[in-house]
Structure formats: C-alpha cells, structure tokens
Structure 1
Amino acid sequence: MILVTGGMGFIGSHTVQALLDLGESCVLLQRRPAEHADERVTVEQGDITDLDALLGIGARHEITGIVHLAHSGPWPPDPDRPVEQARGALNGLLNVMRAAQDRGVRRVGVASTIGVYSGITARGALREDMPLPMSAPHSIPTFKKIGELLNGHLADATGIEIVNYRISGTWGPRDPHGALFFAAPELVHAAVQGREPDLSTLLAPAHAEDALDLCYVKDTGRAIALLQLADHLNHRTYNVASGRATTNAEIIASIEQVIPGARVGLPTGGPAGRSHLDIGRLHEDTGFKPEYDTARAVTDYIAWLRAGNEH
C-alpha cells in the first residue's frame, strides 16, 4: 500500500489513479475530510506537520512506499510569520521521512519542480546532472532546492531510497491554479466559456511564442507511479515532463481545432529561446513515454470542462 500525501489534490489524484491502474492500493493523507469511491483507497484526515498523525497511519496500514506530493513550502507567504512558515515547511518534510523510517519504507518519492533550473541560461534540454544556481526567484523553487539537498543527506543517513521528482509545467483536469505560471489552462477555460482569456495573474505578458515543457497531468501522474513502483532506479532525481517545449501558439491551434472561432489569440513578440526537460533517465528506468501530445491533451481537457467540471 502506497501512502500519498496530497492524494486528493491536482497531481495527487491523477497519481493515485495511475497507481491503482498498476495494481496498487493507496492510503491518502488529506487535511480536509474526504471520501474516495474506489475501495482500494483509504482516506485519512491529517496534516504532514502532525507527526503523530503520520505515525498513526503507519500503525494502521501496511505502508510499503510513500509519494509525498503535499506542498512543503511557505505558500502562500505570510509576511507576519516567515520563520514559523519556514519551520513548518521543513518539519512537514522531516515528518514524512520519520514516518518512512518508522515503518521501514524502502522508497519515498518527493515532489520537486522545474523551477529549480531557474537561472540556467543554456538552451535546449535541461538535465538532472546540471549544476544548479544557489539562488531562486520564488519561494517554491527555493524550498524545493533545500528539500533536494536535505533528501540527499537523509537518504545517506537512513538508507531510505529518496527520489526527487522535478515536475514540469503540469496542467489538465482538476488544475486549481489557472494562469499562475503559464497561460495554457486559462486559454482552455476561456475557450470553453466563450470569453477572452484573463492572463493578468502571470508574472509577464503572454505571447504566442512563449514555450515551456508542458506535461499533461495524466502523464505526470503515470510517470510518478512508475517511478514509485519500479523494481530498481539508478538515480535519485528525475525530470517528470513531456520532454519537449510547447508554445502557446500550439495550444491555441489545438483549441481552435476543437472550438473554431475561440477568442484565445495572443500577440507575437515573445522570446525565441526554448528549453525543455530531458526525460532520458525517466524513460530508461521506467519505460515512460508521454501518451498525450498537445492536441490530445487539449481535446481531453475541453471534454472534461464541458462535462461540467469546474477545473
């Protein structure tokens, strides 16, 4: 049985489904009361900052692995409690590792982010063995970098196999973020709702040429499940991504194939440089290949929203 923290969330829910598809059962840790329709899933209410709750789950269930997707970072930031937030973030990660050690868990997977590559100026594929700058432009990659370093120390000290997932721009059903870091989710929502996209929440204006390694969330979940269940892994860190850069122009073209006349055009004039995550490690150790290209992802997401789902 795999313990999944944040298992009812955006990436977590798709990871759980992928684990079930591969024959695993799961126990989910959620802060809010929740139910799951699949009898192979047990939902436990609790928080990663509560060590007793984590240890209690381990005592009640035969936990063989942990996928830690619950957010471990001070987000959203509270300017009045920065020290307390930082302590809570680190305690959450440490509690997960303490629970793993207590139950003799072999492998713990931990969500990291494409944001750890911020500051690397090289174009093309970003590889896991590239040296990372010590700085970060946002609290999320800051704490993910801290977490990766801490995970390496704990793996050596405890003997637990701790695996970092450097997750790329994930999007698709149940995405609660909208246009937080990239435009694709809002472009699809706007098209389905018959309006112009609101991209005011982005850090910079969006252009048709803007490109990012976008990974459809069903592929993200399957990649994480494969990493958790693989008999043997050769590395501690893996890029979880599509392995290619997708432009806003590609997203728009796919939307217009499904919804002709959608008002989702963007101006040109964006940067020409593109980079993406190299997924060679992931493919070699798990056999993962993305199943959703841009057109299939857009079609699936539009169908999901047209079925009455909010996100």
Structure 2
Amino acid sequence: MSILVTGGAGYIGSHMVHALVDAGERVVVLDNLSTGFRFAVPQKAVLVVGDTGDGALVSRLIGEHRIDTIIHFAASLVVPESVADPLKYYRNNTANSRTVIACAVAGGVKNFVFSSTAAVYGNPARVPVAEDDTPAPMSPYGSSKLMTEIMLRDATAAHGLRHVILRYFNVAGADPQLRIGQATANATHLVKVAIETALGTRQKMDVFGTDYPTPDGTCIRDYIHVTDLVAAHGDALRYLRAGGAPVTLNCGYGRGFSVLEVIDTVKQVAGVDFRVDFAPRRAGDPAAIVAASDRIRSLLGWQPRYDDLGTIVAHALAWQKKLDTLALGAAATGRG
C-alpha cells in the first residue's frame, strides 16, 4: 500500500514527503508544480505532475499504486489574493478537494489527513482559540478550507472515510538538515520576507497595520516549525491506522508573537538591521490568533521539538542562505 501526497512538491508537502520516505513509506506525489519544485521531492518518491481537479488522474493513481492513505496539502493559500480572486480559491481549494474526496471514497481509501488552517476561525472571540470554537472565516481562503472540512466530515458520515483535520497556524522554518525549505518566489510568509530583507534580496519590507488591538498594534500569530507540523501529520497517520475516530486538531504551540517581535527576532538572529515600512491593514487579517494545543498533545501524543522562535528563524535563515548560494551557482554556470 502507498500514501498519496497532494501538493507534495510544495513547502510543507515536501517536508512531509521527506519524513514519510525517511520512515520507509511508499509515497506518490501529485503536484501541478505551480508553486512546488521538482527538486523538493526525494528520488524515492514517485512524482506525478498533474492537478487534483483531474478526477480521472486521481482515481488512476489510487488504483495503480494501491493508495490507502491521502494526505491532502494541495491548495492556494495567500489570504489577500483570495480576497481579490475568490473564485480561484473556491476552485483550487474547495472544488478540487471535493474531487479528491470523491475519488478517495470511490477508490476505497481508508485514511485521509487534511491540511486546513487557523483562518477558519477568523478573528476569534477568545485567544487561545480551541477546536470547538465557532468558525467565522474573514477571507475566501478561510471559507474555502472550512467548506472542505464540512465535505470531509459529511463524506465520513456517509462512507466511513476515516480522517484527521489539522488546522495549521503560522508555519515557518526549514528542514534542520537543510534538504528543503520555503523556496517560493515572492512569498508572503512573514519570516521568509523578513529574512530576504535581512539578506538584501528585498530592499525593504512592509508591516500591514499598526492599529490592531494588540500590545504593539501589529498582528499576533502562533508560529510553528514546519518539522513539528510534519511530525503532527505522522502522529495523525499512526492514530488513523490504529482505528482512531475522525477528529479536528489545532497545530500550534499556544504562544503568539507580534509582527514586530518576529522582525526583531530576525534582526537579532541575522545580525543585521533593515528597512521596515508601515502600511495600511490588509483585508482578511485577524488581529490575533493563537492555538489552544492541548487536544493534539493529549490525543496524538504530539511533542514539538523546535518550539522556539529563534530556532525557527535560524533554520529558515540557513536555508535561505543555501538557496541563494545555489541560485548564484546556477547563474554563474548558465543554468539559472
């Protein structure tokens, strides 16, 4: 039996594929490479370039590779873009997920792990926010993910598809071995943007909104190391294989940092100062969102290893330096 990882050439998905291969699993990756990279997929995994909305392709992969588990990462994930182009998000995140779920049911897939988001909570009434709190997304991105959660729960009730829904908070960092990391051009992730600015790739960076009801006026987020997030997926897979009941779980540490605190940490770790400009709020950004993470710790036995903002930044910085060196080498040899 094999595991199908959609979006497995992307930032988080590729970390998952490496972890699965390291664990001796047989892995098939489905990715259209719109934001993913071939180099991010380990050679021991099978890479199929295609779209999750292609039901015939998904069904064929399930049958040919005897897929018994799907870990579904493939999605569009930029909140401001979702506000500007909502239909793209309802196609890529909701309609395509419906196709994957339908193929899973028809193909007899037993286990399904879904990559959801804290954006389903919107601007929560309380912080930390718990899994049972009422979802109230502020963006089409959050809504598109919540719709998929609902479809997955309904499909489970009707067809017995066992699932775990993991609601990610703010994912950052890189593989400690520096095999992979965030490589997307023009990324919007705060840690990556700040690091690129520190290294001179960007002349300056913007802080969107300084008038939020937070101690320093900037948004507060719960940052989780990508390796710890991947470990949560591994725990979820073991839980499902042992017959665990469907469940929705937050993936965060339970502690928040403001935008300015993250920028200060990047400056300290990188050892450089850089220009920061202040801009108006962006549509769809909640003021503060931090995970209540006791459920995932108790139910799955999840034990984070990199629960430290400085460590997260250090790993991301080391990866970005490696990426920049590889890009310079490629340009020098005419391969860039």
Are the equivalent residues in 1 in contact too, given 2:163–2:245 (CA < 8 A)? no
Are the equivalent residues in 2 in contact too, given 1:212–1:247 (CA < 8 A)? yes
Are the equivalent residues in 2 in contact too, given 1:73–1:139 (CA < 8 A)? no
Give the CA deviation at 1:21: 3.0
Once residues 177 and 288 of structure 1 are traced to their aligned partners in structure 2, the CA distance between those partners, rounded to angstroms, is 32
Give the CA deviation at 1:261: 3.4
> So what's the TM-score if we normalise by structure 1?
0.83
1:53 to 50, 57, 67: 57
Unaligned runs of 5+ in 1: none
1:166 maps to what in 2? 167
List per-residue Cα deviations over 1:198-224 (Å, max 9, x = no partner).
Answer: 226x4x359685320111222222222
Are the equivalent residues in 1 in contact too, given 2:26–2:45 (CA < 8 A)? yes
Give the CA deviation at 1:13: 0.7
2:252 maps to what in 1? 241
1:66 maps to what in 2? 70
1:223 maps to what in 2? 232
Once residues 170 and 274 of structure 2 are traced to their aligned partners in structure 1, the CA distance between those partners, rounded to angstroms, is 23
Matched, 1:300 2:308: no
Q: Supply the AA of the counterpart residue of 1:300.
A: H
1:259 to 252, 270, 273: 270
1:27 maps to what in 2? 28
Matched, 1:101 2:134: no
> So what's the TM-score if we normalise by structure 2?
0.77
Once residues 287 and 15 of structure 1 are traced to their aligned partners in structure 2, the CA distance between those partners, rounded to angstroms, is 18
2:145 maps to what in 1? 144
2:200 maps to what in 1? 193
1:176 to 184, 189, 199: 184
Are the equivalent residues in 1 in contact too, given 2:30–2:47 (CA < 8 A)? yes
Q: Supply the AA of the counterpart residue of 1:214.
A: Y
> Bigger shift: 256-265 or 165-174?
256-265
Are the equivalent residues in 2 in contact too, given 1:188–1:302 (CA < 8 A)? yes
Query: What is the number of residues matched between the two proteins?
Result: 300
Give the CA deviation at 1:100: 1.5
Note closer, same or farther for the CA distance 1:138–1:105 as it changes in structure 2 (3 Å cut): same
Q: Secondary structure at the match of 1:96?
A: helix
Q: Secondary structure at the match of 2:75?
A: coil
Root mean square deviation of aligned Cα: 3.3
Are the equivalent residues in 1 in contact too, given 2:218–2:260 (CA < 8 A)? yes
Once residues 131 and 78 of structure 1 are traced to their aligned partners in structure 2, the CA distance between those partners, rounded to angstroms, is 21
Q: Supply the AA of the counterpart residue of 2:182.
A: R
Once residues 250 and 10 of structure 1 are traced to their aligned partners in structure 2, the CA distance between those partners, rounded to angstroms, is 24
Note closer, same or farther for the CA distance 1:263–1:194 as it changes in structure 2 (3 Å cut): farther
1:126 to 126, 129, 147: 129
Note closer, same or farther for the CA distance 1:37–1:178 as it changes in structure 2 (3 Å cut): closer
Q: Supply the AA of the counterpart residue of 1:21.
A: D
Are the equivalent residues in 2 in contact too, given 1:208–1:249 (CA < 8 A)? no
Note closer, same or farther for the CA distance 1:251–1:80 as it changes in structure 2 (3 Å cut): closer
Q: Secondary structure at the match of 1:290?
A: coil
> Bigger shift: 258-267 or 38-47?
258-267
Note closer, same or farther for the CA distance 1:279–1:264 as it changes in structure 2 (3 Å cut): farther
Give the CA deviation at 1:37: 6.2
Note closer, same or farther for the CA distance 1:308–1:185 as it changes in structure 2 (3 Å cut): closer
List per-residue Cα deviations over 1:207-261 (Å, max 9, x = no partner).
Answer: 6853201112222222223212323435521112222212334434433333323
1:288 maps to what in 2? 302
Q: Secondary structure at the match of 1:64?
A: strand
Give the CA deviation at 1:266: 7.7
1:15 maps to what in 2? 16
Are the equivalent residues in 2 in contact too, given 1:109–1:228 (CA < 8 A)? yes
